[in-house]
Chains A and B, each alone.
Chain A
């Protein structure tokens, strides 16, 4: 081939590539862009400005397809602004499943001329496979171009229905760069140089509308859920959860790292990211914004081996090859087991809770596989999250088997990941399972909702989940009973923390504490003491009174012995207690309490 011919061929080739590229990147003239709305889907579109007949009132057909099968055809007309929309209600699309929407002119009755198309899916916090490594790419506008950044699509870690993904970050922003440096990060997470603590505090310092982790104590946050990192250690005897990276996770009091310390996360720096997962989380509730990690310290990927002498392994939450029980055993085997039963059986166990958070109404004789945990004396139904995390760095997994066949996602099987159970016609075929237990802490604006069953916002098991969360690091402090030789990893008497009623956060803050935020045994705050009564305390006197005389790192909600007196107080040994037998308070400490007359 001559040089002239080669040059000509190259020019033609470049020209064709250019034409094709232009076509590929061309903006969809109909603006078809499905947007999830709850568990439904809104599909807005516009008329084509280049088509003179696309005027107000013109009708279009939206065809929803599941593969080659047409699910529905819905007509919509352009309004005065040449915009139209089809709204698919919840239930029309199966969460987690890929669909395609196609746009046609309604007068094109044969649907011969495709105007635009787009992938469509809805994601669901409860029933979709969390943390599954994405295996498809999302074609946002039907152009054929795949979106590499799948935040918010197809079960990627960041997105769970109904939750914010840490602020306003979304697909079309470059906000990753707010925290990460692609090429010049100073740590192995590509964070900027001062690590997670400085990264988080750059925004969570009160200068934005975001939650202020360093909020000074004020009357408004005197009943704070988490406490504050802005404590005065010197004059107010502050106590701080040292999350600035200066300590390792293994420094946690009660943290039992075991003989071999095989869990590498024990050696990591303790910082904000040790508890909070900025990219995605299991936190539920009204806001779902506290971003607590559903797999703290990675226990969900550590295999539990019965009888092991390695305490890390005993702390593992990955239970492999569990046989499926048909009756609830009366003696302990592994800390968590699976029991096969029916909906009716489970309703009899706990009618008020079972399926409470599951999507949809399950009726009829349905087989169920339910998690149970050993509570120290018996197995009780457990609603812990089931984890499934595939790919680096996650190792947790949950698989239901028929023999050696994975039927976790087979037709006739519904897995309620968030509440740790499965139901459906396939349950009869499940012969064994591997489950990974996660932690699902409810976000709440009322601390009593975690432990006070009389509280209107109370959700059973929430306090237990919170205790399990704390014990990811403070392993030895989780105990199902308070009797002798309790606990899994050492022998000691202790409070019964593995229950809703004695959840860790009933006595402790998560962030930090000091005189001005601690309370008396009667739940009086600094602001109460300095304003109530005929002779309220001076600010100095109130601080002196509330200043814990024996400062520690305990992050206490109540000062001094008040942390005991708030609950204990009936008896002569507690005569100095304000909340004693002569003047008891009704209600739960930390909840709404009522004065009762002296006698």
Chain B
């Protein structure tokens, strides 16, 4: 009888201890999502909060973010891994490690998901796009073009729209469109206004509801917009009609909201610019710093179905959520 009572007491203590540690653990994780009251009114989106990642391994050079299903997938580039959060910023899990093998990364960059929740990760250095399940299990490489003369060499920005995958090939100065299911190349954009006006280190691509293609032509300090067939439409570079000197320095992540507003991260001015459908700048927010409403070398930008905007802030090691 006495022995049985002892077991009950010991079991109770163990259970209570486990519950206590679980509660502490989740409170600890919740602290990673730093809630910030918004002070922004009007045109630009309002700051929601920051996501900093698992405090044991904070994000280091987060290059891109995408909302796949109900979770945020972030390329934690310097850690050669993907970190996954719920939308409140709670770390869920992470996957990947340094290497050149399957499921391994050297420079994970662009990230997006398909309708099944599978995760596509472009690796700039390994030259491949890896497909994972939503739980981070490696499935296969998206397409192996290494035997072709014009193979995908250095994939950077990546977006999936309907049944197509769009990816920038940074070192090859190209943007490609593939059939998502077959992996067949459908389009290869290499230039802008003329054949000689070639793209230069394009870092990001996105698509609007009319299938127009937006390319962040980083090395040329401009955005280039094409129609769905790849026909050049216009340039945005901060000057009138894109004809003057560029005001951008290192344009990176881009996204289009449902109302047609185009958002672009300007990496070295540390601002995010907003443009209307005609390319006219309608707002900007950000600026250099580590305080709220500020960025330090922001890079990736993702707009979800609800119009929420996620921006990777590489030096500040966080993801900023804007409503």
Q: Which A residues are closer than 8 A to B by beta carbons?
A: 173, 175, 177-178, 181, 184, 192-194, 198, 202-203, 205-209, 212, 214-216, 230, 232, 235
Within 8 A of A (CB), among B183-210: 200-201, 203
Number of contacts between A and B (CB, 8 Å)?
Answer: 55
Q: A177-B288, A178-B249, A232-B99 are in contact. Are A202 and B315 (CB under 8 A)?
A: yes
- Contact among A178, A181, A184, A207 with B124 in the assembled complex (CB-CB below 8 Å): A207
Within 8 A of A (CB), among B50-96: 63
- Contact among B107, B200, B297 with A209 in the assembled complex (CB-CB below 8 Å): B200
Within 8 A of A (CB), among B238-258: 249-250
Q: Which B residues are closer than 8 A to A by beta carbons?
A: 63, 98-100, 106-107, 109, 124-127, 154, 156, 170-171, 200-201, 203, 218-219, 249-250, 268, 288-290, 296-297, 314-315
CB-based closest 9 A-B pairs: A209-B219, A216-B125, A209-B201, A178-B268, A208-B201, A209-B200, A206-B124, A202-B297, A192-B315
Complex CA–CA separation, A202 to B252 (angstroms): 13
On chain A, the residues within 8 Å of B63 by CB distance are 207
State the majority secondary structure of interface residues on A: loop
Complex CA–CA separation, A207 to B63 (angstroms): 10
Q: How far is the CB of A514 from chain B (nearest CB, A)?
A: 11
On chain B, the residues within 8 Å of A194 by CB distance are 315
The answer on a CB contact under 8 Å between A192 and B99 is: no
On chain B, the residues within 8 Å of A205 by CB distance are 107
Complex CA–CA separation, A212 to B106 (angstroms): 14
Complex CA–CA separation, A212 to B109 (angstroms): 15
- Contact among B98, B107, B297 with A206 in the assembled complex (CB-CB below 8 Å): B107
Complex CA–CA separation, A181 to B125 (angstroms): 30
- Contact among A177, A193, A206 with B171 in the assembled complex (CB-CB below 8 Å): A206
Complex CA–CA separation, A206 to B297 (angstroms): 15
On chain A, the residues within 8 Å of B288 by CB distance are 177, 181
On chain B, the residues within 8 Å of A232 by CB distance are 98-100
The answer on a CB contact under 8 Å between A207 and B218 is: yes
On chain B, the residues within 8 Å of A208 by CB distance are 201, 218-219, 250
- Contact among B218, B268, B289 with A184 in the assembled complex (CB-CB below 8 Å): B289
On chain B, the residues within 8 Å of A207 by CB distance are 63, 109, 124, 156, 170, 201, 203, 218
State the majority secondary structure of interface residues on B: loop
On chain B, the residues within 8 Å of A181 by CB distance are 288
- Contact among B154, B249, B297 with A175 in the assembled complex (CB-CB below 8 Å): B249
By beta carbon, the residue of chain A nearest B218 is A208
* Other A-B pairs beyond A193-B315, A202-B315, 7, CB < 8 Å: A181-B288, A202-B297, A206-B107, A206-B170, A207-B63, A207-B218, A214-B107
The answer on a CB contact under 8 Å between A216 and B126 is: yes
Complex CA–CA separation, A235 to B109 (angstroms): 23
Q: How far is the CB of B235 from chain A (nearest CB, A)?
A: 18
Q: How far is the CB of A454 from chain B (nearest CB, A)?
A: 33
By beta carbon, the residue of chain B nearest A208 is B201
On chain B, the residues within 8 Å of A178 by CB distance are 249, 268
Q: A208-B201, A208-B250 are in contact. Are A230 and B106 (CB under 8 A)?
A: yes
Q: A202-B314, A208-B250 are in contact. Are A214 and B99 (CB under 8 A)?
A: no
On chain A, the residues within 8 Å of B219 by CB distance are 208-209
Q: A178-B268, A194-B315 are in contact. Are A230 and B201 (CB under 8 A)?
A: no
By beta carbon, the residue of chain B nearest A192 is B315
By beta carbon, the residue of chain B nearest A217 is B125
Q: A178-B249, A232-B100 are in contact. Are A206 and B154 (CB under 8 A)?
A: yes
Q: How far is the CB of B167 from chain A (nearest CB, A)?
A: 14
On chain B, the residues within 8 Å of A212 by CB distance are 171
On chain B, the residues within 8 Å of A214 by CB distance are 107, 125
Complex CA–CA separation, A116 to B171 (angstroms): 46
Complex CA–CA separation, A10 to B171 (angstroms): 62
Q: How far is the CB of A512 from chain B (nearest CB, A)?
A: 14
**Residue among B107, B127, B219 facing the most chain A CB atoms (10 A cut-off):** B107
By beta carbon, the residue of chain B nearest A233 is B98
Complex CA–CA separation, A212 to B124 (angstroms): 11
Q: How far is the CB of B4 from chain A (nearest CB, A)?
A: 53
Complex CA–CA separation, A205 to B267 (angstroms): 14
Complex CA–CA separation, A487 to B313 (angstroms): 50
On chain A, the residues within 8 Å of B171 by CB distance are 206, 212
Complex CA–CA separation, A262 to B125 (angstroms): 43
By beta carbon, the residue of chain A nearest B154 is A206
On chain B, the residues within 8 Å of A193 by CB distance are 315
On chain B, the residues within 8 Å of A175 by CB distance are 249, 268
On chain A, the residues within 8 Å of B289 by CB distance are 184
Q: How far is the CB of A515 from chain B (nearest CB, A)?
A: 12
Complex CA–CA separation, A178 to B248 (angstroms): 13
Q: How far is the CB of A48 from chain B (nearest CB, A)?
A: 22
Complex CA–CA separation, A209 to B218 (angstroms): 8
On chain B, the residues within 8 Å of A235 by CB distance are 99
Q: How far is the CB of A250 from chain B (nearest CB, A)?
A: 27
Complex CA–CA separation, A178 to B270 (angstroms): 9
